[in-house]
């Protein structure tokens, strides 16, 4: 069967083969929409946790090419009249969801948007092209068995995490580290919809609110953590971060501390307060530098207060945070030089 320039169910053709190289609502509040999976009619493109979405010629650059630099994206070229497309759709969508966020799926209706398929030399549908780092890297044509599709996705994105919640947590944590608080909050919210008492999701959502300077909402998120789970590292880190944010909020304009240090470089209290303020503004390494300067000049100041504050920073930031590594290296250099 064919429609226009496309046939159905064929094998990989010349041009295609050559190009292949042979929110969360509720608690999420102000961060916007649903953090769950998107459907095959995702409308204007992916948001938050959408794994499956529609793509157009206009959105292809952002939603596929650029997005594939962060995460592999499959593009399913299909048409409403294509019978094998209808067979492949539930198989590939189920496989993408089962992959737990290792890949995403963009659906492109070639009747409405024929340009990209034409440029890639696609002459038969269904056709699935995998993009990674902004380039097409693999693909297949025609309906496939479930096992074949799963193997294709695992080859591209790696093994699926143990469960969907773990996949969302992994993605959300990466987004949080990149200061993408809105999308991280949506994914943490998606985990909370599946596991309402997940301490890592609740603590992560609190960290998102802290990043957005919404301290009261951060408190509310932490209050939802069950008492018996409050020894978890994610919870204690979020509590430490909240405490630091409250201290920073009480400091006001940091120019005063800069001026005091300029007048007297040994004004350790000014450096200490400046460190708190810099951390509150997201300048973690700057905060480290101020405290290290105190330790270098007077280790015993304020009962070892500068070093203890550094340790609180490390707890709040998390062991893997680059700023924690930076601070530990600087502190070791001072203490053991």
Task: Extract the tokens encoding 135.
Answer: 């380039």
Three-class secondary structure of residue 301 per DSSP: coil
Q: Tokens 């990149």 sit at which residue?
A: 178
Give the phi and the psi of residue 160 in degrees, each rounded to 5.
-70, 145
Catalytic residues: 82, 85
The sign of the dihedral angle between the CA atoms of 155, 161, 164, 166 is negative
- What span, in angstroms and rounded, lies between the C-alpha atoms of 256 and 259? 5
Q: At 336, is the secondary structure helix, strand, or coil? A: coil
Structure tokens at 121: 């030399």
User: Can you give the three-state secondary structure of 63-119, one letter per residue?
Assistant: HHHHHHHCCCEEEEEECCCCHHHHHHHHHHHHHHHHCCCCCEEEEEECCCCCHHHHH
Size of the chain in residues: 337
Residue 227 is given by DSSP the state G
For 29, phi then psi, to 5°, come to 45, -120
- Rounded Cα gap, residues 234 and 231, in angstroms: 8
């Amino acid at each position: 069967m064919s429609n226009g320039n496309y046939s159905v169910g064929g094998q990989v053709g010349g041009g295609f083969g050559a190009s292949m190289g042979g929110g969360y609502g509720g608690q999420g509040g102000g961060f916007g929409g649903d953090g769950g999976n998107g459907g095959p009619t995702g409308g204007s493109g992916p948001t938050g946790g959408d794994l499956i979405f529609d793509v157009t010629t206009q959105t292809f650059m952002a939603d596929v090419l650029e997005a594939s630099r962060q995460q592999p994206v499959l593009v399913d070229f299909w048409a409403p009249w294509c019978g094998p497309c209808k067979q492949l759709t539930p198989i590939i969508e189920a496989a993408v969801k089962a992959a737990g966020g290792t890949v995403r799926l963009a659906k492109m209706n070639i009747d409405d948007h024929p340009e990209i398929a034409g440029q890639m030399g696609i002459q038969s549908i269904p056709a699935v092209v995998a993009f990674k780092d902004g380039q097409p890297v693999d693909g297949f044509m025609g309906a496939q068995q479930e096992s074949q599709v799963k193997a294709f996705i695992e080859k591209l994105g790696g093994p699926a995490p143990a469960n969907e919640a773990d996949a969302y947590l992994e993605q959300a944590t990466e987004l949080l580290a990149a200061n993408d608080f809105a999308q991280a909050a949506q994914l943490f919210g998606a985990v909370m919809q599946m596991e309402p008492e997940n301490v890592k999701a609740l603590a992560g959502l609190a960290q998102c609110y802290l990043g957005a300077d919404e301290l009261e909402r951060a408190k509310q998120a932490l209050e939802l953590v069950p008492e018996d789970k409050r020894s978890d590292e994610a919870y204690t880190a979020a509590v430490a971060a909240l405490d630091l944010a409250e201290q920073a909020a009480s400091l006001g304009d940091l120019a005063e501390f800069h001026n005091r240090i300029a007048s007297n470089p040994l004004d350790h209290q000014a450096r200490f307060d400046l460190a708190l303020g810099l951390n509150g503004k997201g300048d973690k390494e700057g905060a480290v530098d101020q405290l290290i300067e105190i330790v270098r000049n007077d280790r015993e100041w304020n009962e070892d207060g500068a070093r203890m504050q550094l340790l609180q920073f490390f707890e709040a930031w998390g062991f893997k945070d680059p700023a924690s590594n930076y601070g530990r290296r600087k502190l070791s250099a001072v203490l053991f030089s």
